[in-house]
Structure 1
């Protein structure tokens, strides 16, 4: 346990909810990393009672000799933002580098060491991520790319945060990439930060439940203060668990609302507000033109979200000083 590892300079924080089987595979890959015993792991669990017992058993089964850990049962409403903040608060004071990973990923050999090396050698870098390998969804056609660019849903440049609130990722693999570190304006949830940065910038607990866009919000704030980069030599596979994942209707409703919240928090100009609505038009066209059998549910969720935004009938779109206790999608 942590009392025996108070000299650790880096640690791993994993937030989970009702995914003990997925978590077991993730911890296995963490335990197989080089110097795993010198890298404590904090698991902050927001599971329901039965799954919490199973999750605690999964964590404890590794034993302190294999993987030093701290299991914490989150007592409040489950929320990615709150659980991540709790995980950071539980770390020994000696920890200077915090690695966040999801509970449904497999880290490849050398992942943590590659990210740590960047933060130890690049003093102007506040956060770093690796390459995230996802299940293939196919390459969009040139026509689709052009339409997405027209509606500010994508950019030719990787790692951009667009005025519409949409993003382009810098954490996707590029064939035969030899460019070294890539600069980016944001990082996803599987990224690593200096502890000193996280003491100044915490995950915004106004986002509860699924906490959609919490990683974008945190990293974009940090980007305005310090450099963010991607290290292509660090890789992990996102297995994309089907457990506790939003269905297309709830996902599209939440995305419409949360993206509006993000725009209002980070962009003040009229042009960015117009870009948000222009992007919504493009998203609606993309959903209705899709051949995905779930498009009806996705369209229904999109329209629900649109009504919520227009009526501002959501805690995220009201006074933020009172919205942090609200439950959201």
Structure 2
């Protein structure tokens, strides 16, 4: 398969080099690697000029094409017409040696697949257990593996707000388990939500839809929106054997108030993309969960070192929640579910 890799970057030259080094030693190398640089300086451009990477194409975009959503759409427009699969990787990730080989294996085994993502291996500790294992209150058990679930899910369960779908499937009231709750089993799982920074899609998907203009700017949850719309056209999968590490780089991210506001408003938008006409029960559960999670984040000012971040993000969440009563975001007609 002829395949392309798009890496959108912003002010992270050293993280980008770490990723490119891991790409350079792949068992199957991309036919083209497109760097879409939204940086406001030339550090990334200069450091790439000092290196030599196979099949690399560099684009430094202007203000009108800056931002994750715009840069991804720009990158798609620059890929070769021969490309069958288009990969996306965040600039602060590092891929295992067989990453692309494992992803392409899914497309061969499941011809109807429209999208496949890899698996982040360095964020959660899992342990293999017997199928008869009974998890304790703070544990999450799935497919013979167990991990710590987290206090917020335990608290949600006490209020009847726990997710009622498998990881990667959005419940009617949203607020489900992310694909990070899939275990490192080396299995392939069908989902409807893919993480944009480690996702790939068949080129035919982009002949019908692009990343939504609603998320232009930082673009929180733009990947959920895109994968949900794609899942209406075909099947999506996660291959947990395609391992990738995510080394969170805070450079280029918005302040915590804006982030908290986006968590709620963009979360509402994505929920209504999946469920445009939710039941009264789903509406109550979405609002109750959003409010509870905002309270939990506010409570972090008492149990974390970054108290100011917890305070400003929680305020952003509350403001975002109240703002929905005044003005709700809606998808443009040409960006609704297919």
TM-score range, shorter chain: 0.7 to 0.9
Match of 2:38 among 46, 53, 78: 46
Unaligned runs of 5+ in 2: 126-146
Shift in CA distance, 152/204, structure 1 to aligned 2, threshold 3 Å? farther
Shift in CA distance, 171/128, structure 1 to aligned 2, threshold 3 Å? farther
Give the equivalent residue in structure 1 for 2:194.
187
Over the aligned positions, Cα root-mean-square deviation in angstroms equals: 2.5
Give the equivalent residue in structure 1 for 2:318.
303
Residue-pair matches, total: 304
The Cα shift of 1:163 comes to 2.6
Shift in CA distance, 61/68, structure 1 to aligned 2, threshold 3 Å? farther
Q: How does 1:135-154 map to 2 (within 5 A)?
A: 135=123, 139-141=148-150, 144-149=152-157, 150=159, 152=161, 154=163
Match of 2:51 among 62, 65, 74: 62
Give the equivalent residue in structure 1 for 2:108.
120
Match of 1:209 among 200, 217, 227: 217
TM-score normalised by the chain length of structure 1: 0.84
The Cα shift of 1:217 comes to 0.5
Alignment deviations for residues 150-175 of structure 1 (CA, whole Å, 9 cap, x no partner): 46464462112123332322245625
Match of 2:246 among 233, 238, 246: 238
SS at match of 1:216: helix
Shift in CA distance, 61/117, structure 1 to aligned 2, threshold 3 Å? farther
Match of 2:283 among 273, 290, 295: 273
The Cα shift of 1:194 comes to 0.6
Using the alignment, how far apart are the partners of 1:303 and 1:173 within structure 2? 30
Shift in CA distance, 174/264, structure 1 to aligned 2, threshold 3 Å? closer
Using the alignment, how far apart are the partners of 1:262 and 1:144 within structure 2? 21
The Cα shift of 1:111 comes to 0.2
Using the alignment, how far apart are the partners of 2:161 and 2:195 within structure 1? 20
Give the equivalent residue in structure 1 for 2:2.
9
Unaligned runs of 5+ in 1: 1-7, 324-329
Tell me if the contact between 1:129 and 1:171 (Cα under 8 Å) persists in the aligned partners: no
Using the alignment, how far apart are the partners of 1:153 and 1:86 within structure 2? 38
SS at match of 2:316: helix
